[in-house]
Amino acid sequence: MSARAIRILGIDPGLRRTGWGIVEISGNRLAFLGCGRVETDDREALASRLAAIHAGLARVIAQFAPQEAAAEATFVNKDAVATLKLGQARGVALLAAAQAGLEVAEYAPNLVKKTIVGAGHADKAQIRMMIGVLLPKAEPETEDAADALAIAVTHAHHRGAALLRARLEPGPKGRQAKGGESGRIAVKPESLP
């Protein structure tokens, strides 16, 4: 009996460029399906740029029909304005996934790097090289797409723990959620192995 294939959307949010990557996991096999990025025009109004990110990811979701999604967790930059803009882009990216009914797991950047490269402080070139090793058919043209694939691969490796943790987290009024009763997957990146 073969394992059911699961398609995973990885999202690397950004206001200028939001990377996306799709992988499929079946048992212990991992396959590349697609990657790219949604770009926005700096000259456009913020609302238009956010709408473009949402529409672009909605098209990707409609085309590839993933069952799960993963995104890079929020981190705080020294530049408060940049952090706020990233948060807004991230919000519409998560909204696109949620509107499609996808559970979204979140992973800290250092966990993604450690999962892909083996070191929590790897650089973008190392991540891109390892994506080529892990997904030989993948040829991401941009760092954003490579990072999104890295996030998807990280979720493929950690999804069992993320799903179990979501089921065990307290539900409403402190009771334990059982089976499908839990809402969204709320992965606390610092608690992952």
Beta strand pairing status for 103-107 and 68-72?
Answer: parallel
Contact at 8 Å (CB) between 138 and 153? Answer: no
- The burial of 90, by beta-carbon neighbours within 10 Å (0-12 exposed, 13-18 middle, 19 or more buried), is given as buried
Contact at 8 Å (CB) between 46 and 151? Answer: no
Contact at 8 Å (CB) between 153 and 43? Answer: no
Residue in 12, 24, 103, 147 annotated catalytic: 12
Residue in 24, 72, 103, 106 annotated catalytic: 72
The answer to whether residue 41 is catalytic is: no
The mean pLDDT of 58-68, rounded to a whole number, is 98
The answer to whether residue 42 is catalytic is: no
pLDDT band at 186 (very low <50, low <70, confident <90, very high): very low
Instruction: Tell me the pTM.
Output: 0.81
Condensed to tens digits (0 to 9), the pLDDT of residues 21-62 reads: 999 999 889 999 999 999 999 999 999 999 999 999 999 999
Q: Which CATH number fits domain 6-167: 3.30.420.10, 3.30.300.30, 3.10.20.70, 3.40.190.10?
A: 3.30.420.10
Beta bridge partners of 25: 6, 30
CA–CA separation, 7 and 5 (whole Å): 7
The answer to whether residue 144 is catalytic is: yes
Contact at 8 Å (CB) between 116 and 122? Answer: yes
Beta strand pairing status for 17-26 and 103-107?
Answer: unpaired
Higher pLDDT, 161 or 120: 120
Tell me: pLDDT of 124 over 70: yes
Residue in 24, 68, 106, 144 annotated catalytic: 144
